[in-house]
Amino acid sequence: MKLGKIKNFNVEGNKLGIEYAGGKANINFISDEIVRFEIPCKSENYESVAVEGDKAVSCDYEVKKDADDLHITGKKIDIKVSSDFSITILDKTGKVIVSDYQGERTIPVTISEKSLKQLGDEGHEVFGAIGKNHKVQDLKKIDKDDCFYGLGDKTGYLNKREYYFENWNSDIPQAHTENMPSLYKSIPFFICKKKDSVYGLFYDNTYHGYFDFGKENSEYFVYGADDGNLNYYFLYGESMAEVIKNYTYLTGRTPLPQLWTLGYHQCRWGYESAKDIRDVAYGMRERRIPCESVQYDIDYMDKFKVFTWDEDYYEEKGKLIKELSGKGFKPVVIIDPGTKKEDGYFMYDEGVENSYFATNPDGSIYVNKVWPGDSTFPDFGREEVRKWWAESHKNLTDMGVMAIWNDMNEPASFEGPLPDDVVFHIGDRKTDHREVHNVYAHFMDIGTFNGMKKFTGRRPLVITRACYSGTQKYAAVWTGDNQSIWPHLQMLIPQLCNLGMSGFALAGTDIGGFGGNTNSELLCRWIEAAVFSPFFRNHTAKATRAQEPWKFNDETTDIYRKYVELRYKFLPYIYDLFYQCQETGLPIMRPLVLHYEDDENVFNLNDEFLVGENILVSPVVVQGATKKMVYLPEGTWYDYWTGEKHEGKQYIIKDAPLGVCPIYIKGGSIIPTYETVQYVGEKPYDKLELLVTPGAGKYVHYQDNGEDYKYLEGEYNLYEFETDENGKLSTKMLHEGYEKYDQINVNSLA
Ligand code: MIG
């Protein structure tokens, strides 16, 4: 951006202010590894929605000025600041990690307005074909070997290089294709893995954002936004894992969930009555398929009015919930932000009385259509509105509701998008839809989280469709309306891995696919591939083929059960990973590149993933395939099903007929497992079985009541298990504060 030459600078603690001939810029050290760069083009007072509280720790750095440039010497990185706030970041050996691109963009105008119109007439969609300069814009150089990961839920592949994306939370019921600019979430963070270094960038700006990773020109990547400040954090790290640790230090980490939330969930938009829910719930138990919840989609509400219950179809308030709770089902209900405009409806009346809804510029309440018809939109950016929303959850928790699923919070609307000038707030500051759109769900989720925490006393499960960076502190996510097609099963892997690297450790897809009709093979392959999806739910739309496994055939039911049981077996391992995530920010599902950064075979590996560091999963995601080419990275790997030993750094062909998902356990692993139950809480988990593979190993296992916050007061156990070369186990207690297992057994895989 055109600021001209540096005139002066001024250092105050962690903050460096730079005076340019044509404006100002700021550099702010958060830590030795995290540095914020800002041109306050819109506002002097930067307030982040994603970063809460002051994260800065004291750091040592020195600033020197020569004729044209500033030279900042830090502990981990050095920074050169030049004219026009051009930035070069170097490591301590003097090697450039990343630098601004000098020169103009070469925007390809591949389509004339005339052709664009022609295409539009027949309904062709044109995604990002015409580039444009943005009000806020940043160009940085790309090197030949750079790979880009992260950016949340974007479609396509693991590595985003040569793709174009936008950040504008969007409700997209059509099939999500790899060339789509945006889906439901806006997470302007990515990791650039270079030949021999790595860094992260977080462009913290909530306006409509744009990313081009070398698509328009292989020499540079472009970030842009429609308004706001140029405001980004550079995140240094010696590995991708360290960059993620820094990013999640800044924006927060996925908190420890309740154990049951990691179990299996069944859902459908189209359970139209208490009878439908009951049939599915008892159907699961009868067929011995473990299940935690049969979730309530919008039909449970009275005329889609949030915080109400339809007693005509779903029986007397509380009755069904109580009955199913007795069988171990935890009620999870959907909530939308759109609040029906109807006099006499308590939410509407309260909202009007207290001016809680977003307004038109003239002050009248803004109305658009969603499920309930004419609806209003709570102005969640204000604390008092979030408090009101939080309190409203008592209507549900009084009935026994245990978790909330927030939908349509992009916000979606049926009568065209919300106009730019709809008035919203962030805190007390008045602003408009353009700035709030991408953080609307974030603020809603905070309200939900606080309400559920208050009324249940447990760690809330809030499942959200839309979000922004930092929402991971409050909500789990699912990837929205996918379809029952093979490409969407394939996309599960890169999409959940990228969400994980973007801070969202608790994420899942609709198993079986939401839109369209699934078939038995696709459903079986989906449950195989999803067995380690952090959030584990089968869901489908109205008027599609039913997706409860027994609606197909016995083989499907058996395969399905086998994988849901496998999930329950590995629950303590998954739970341990969530425990570790609080320290490291590392996700549960990880692309191989996260742990094998130097192995070029894994930079673009889209059909395998790791669970933690010890389990490698290489599912079959291609129709009709019965063999899988599996890449095993360096080390020794054991086939989970046969115990067969393989040396890594090679491809192998694994026989994988329907019902077999190739799974490998790393040598020297100690993996905690539980006995399969029909639901968490069916019986006490008083026995732990350790699955071990040959080789010396060490593993820390976490145990608590799996429900509330008592662990914060020390009510938990930490076991350190160690095996020697002969497989002999020793156990050390690192912390003791909870009832210990009665038995710990060892089971050797090979
Ligand atoms: O546009 O509540 O993504 O999971 O079942 C439909 C009905 C609105 C969209 C969600 C989907 C949910 C559905 N909702």
Residue 496 has pLDDT above 90, yes or no: yes
Give the pLDDT confidence score for residue 533 in this predicted structure: 98
Residue 129 has pLDDT above 90, yes or no: no
- Pocket flag, ligand 1, residue 297 (CB < 6 Å): yes
Nearest to 332 by CA among 263, 274, 405, 259: 405
The model's pTM = 0.98
Give the Cβ contact number of residue 310 at 10 Å: 19
Mean pLDDT across the stretch 682-699? 97
Catalytic residues: 407, 410, 481
Q: What is the CA(411)–ligand 1 centre distance, in A?
A: 13
355: left (phi over 0), alpha (psi -120 to 50) or beta: left
- Residue 226: C-alpha distances to residues 394, 399, 429, 434 (Å): 39, 45, 19, 9
Residue with CA closest to ligand 1 atom 2 = 298
Give the Cβ contact number of residue 571 at 10 Å: 22
Strands 717-723 and 697-703: antiparallel
Enumerate residues 6+ apart whose C-beta is below 8 A from 520: 552, 553, 555, 556
Total residues found in the chain within this entry: 750
Q: What are the DSSP calls for 503-550, one per residue?
A: T--SEE-EET-SBS---HHHHHHHHHHHTT-SSEEE---TTS---SGG
User: Which atom in ligand 1 lies closest to the alpha carbon of residue 465?
Assistant: 3
The 3 state secondary structure assigned to 16-73 is EEEEECCEEEEEEECCCCEEEEEECCCCCCCCCCCCCCCCCCCCCCEEEECCCCEEEE
- Pocket flag, ligand 1, residue 336 (CB < 6 Å): no
| Exposure on the CB side of residue 164, measured as CA atoms within 13 A | 14
Q: What is the CA(298)–ligand 1 centre distance, in A?
A: 8
What is the spatial distance between Cα 571 and Cα 568, in angstroms, rounded to a whole number? Answer: 5
Q: What is the CA(477)–ligand 1 centre distance, in A?
A: 14
- Pocket flag, ligand 1, residue 269 (CB < 6 Å): yes
Residue 46 has pLDDT above 90, yes or no: no
Enumerate residues 6+ apart whose C-beta is below 8 A from 675: 569, 685, 687, 689
User: Which atom in ligand 1 lies closest to the alpha carbon of residue 297?
Assistant: 2
- pLDDT (tens digit per residue) in 633-670: 999 999 999 999 999 999 999 999 999 999 999 999 99
Per the DSSP assignment, residues forming a β-bridge with 673 are: 689
193-227 burial, b at 16+ Cβ within 10 Å, e below that, comes to bbeebbbbbbbbbbbbbbbbbbbbbeebbbbbbbb
Q: C-alpha 697: how far from its chain's center?
A: 31
Tokens representing 186? 């806006």
What is the spatial distance between Cα 435 and Cα 499, in angstroms, rounded to a whole number? Answer: 23
Our mutation pick for probing the ligand 1 site, out of 174, 269, 335, 537, counting the most ligand atoms within 8 A of Cβ, is 269
- Pocket flag, ligand 1, residue 515 (CB < 6 Å): no
Enumerate residues 6+ apart whose C-beta is below 8 A from 364: none
Nearest to 284 by CA among 564, 593, 583: 564
Residue with CA closest to ligand 1 atom 5 = 269
- Pocket flag, ligand 1, residue 407 (CB < 6 Å): yes
Look-up of token digits 């083009």? 41
- pLDDT (tens digit per residue) in 233-244: 999 999 999 999
- Pocket flag, ligand 1, residue 184 (CB < 6 Å): no
- pLDDT (tens digit per residue) in 160-199: 999 999 999 999 999 999 999 999 999 999 999 999 999 9
- pLDDT (tens digit per residue) in 705-734: 999 999 999 999 999 999 999 889 999 999
Give the pLDDT confidence score for residue 735 in this predicted structure: 98
